[in-house]
């Protein structure tokens, strides 16, 4: 449950670069999902509820100009950088875990 910095660039414009920091990796994944949900709500303002699957979430990640996570290692001395492939793979596992918790 390491401190995580999300560095994200939404579009080609370099002014869209930003970063967000989180106490834990799961909180960073939750925030990434919320960013996607906000985009869906903007695109579909008349819908009362929004739903999506992991494939659509992964497509969203691919559509971003750039995204990477810096995750503090277990010793708390260095941040390890992770790109889109790692984020998508680990986000998928996070969503599976959330889903199994909701099923119980």
Residue 36 has phi, psi (to 5 degrees) of -65, -45
| Phi and psi torsions of 8, nearest 5° | -140, 140
Q: pLDDT at position 75, please?
A: 81
The encoded tokens of residue 6 equal 């999300």
Domains with residue ranges and CATH for the chain: 4-103 (3.30.2260.10)
pLDDT of residue 97: 85
Mean pLDDT, to the nearest integer, of 6-10? 96
Sequence-ordered strand ranges (E) for the chain:
4-9, 17-22, 66-72, 79-82
pLDDT tens column, 56-84:
999 999 999 999 999 999 887 899 999 99
Instruction: Give dist(CA 102, CA 104) in Å, integer.
Output: 5
Name the pTM for this structure.
Answer: 0.88
Contact 24, 3 (CB under 8 A): yes
pLDDT in tens, 35-47: 999 999 999 999 8
């Amino acid at each position: 449950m390491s401190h995580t910095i999300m560095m994200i660039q939404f579009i080609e414009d370099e002014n869209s670069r930003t970063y967000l920091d989180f106490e834990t990796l799961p909180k960073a994944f939750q925030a990434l999902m919320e960013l996607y949900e906000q985009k869906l709500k903007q695109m579909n303002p008349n819908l009362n509820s929004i739903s999506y699957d992991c494939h659509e979430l992964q497509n969203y990640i691919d559509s971003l100009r750039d995204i990477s996570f810096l995750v503090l290692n277990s010793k708390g001395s260095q941040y390890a950088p992770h790109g889109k492939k790692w984020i998508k793979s680990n986000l998928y596992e996070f969503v599976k875990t959330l889903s199994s918790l909701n099923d119980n």
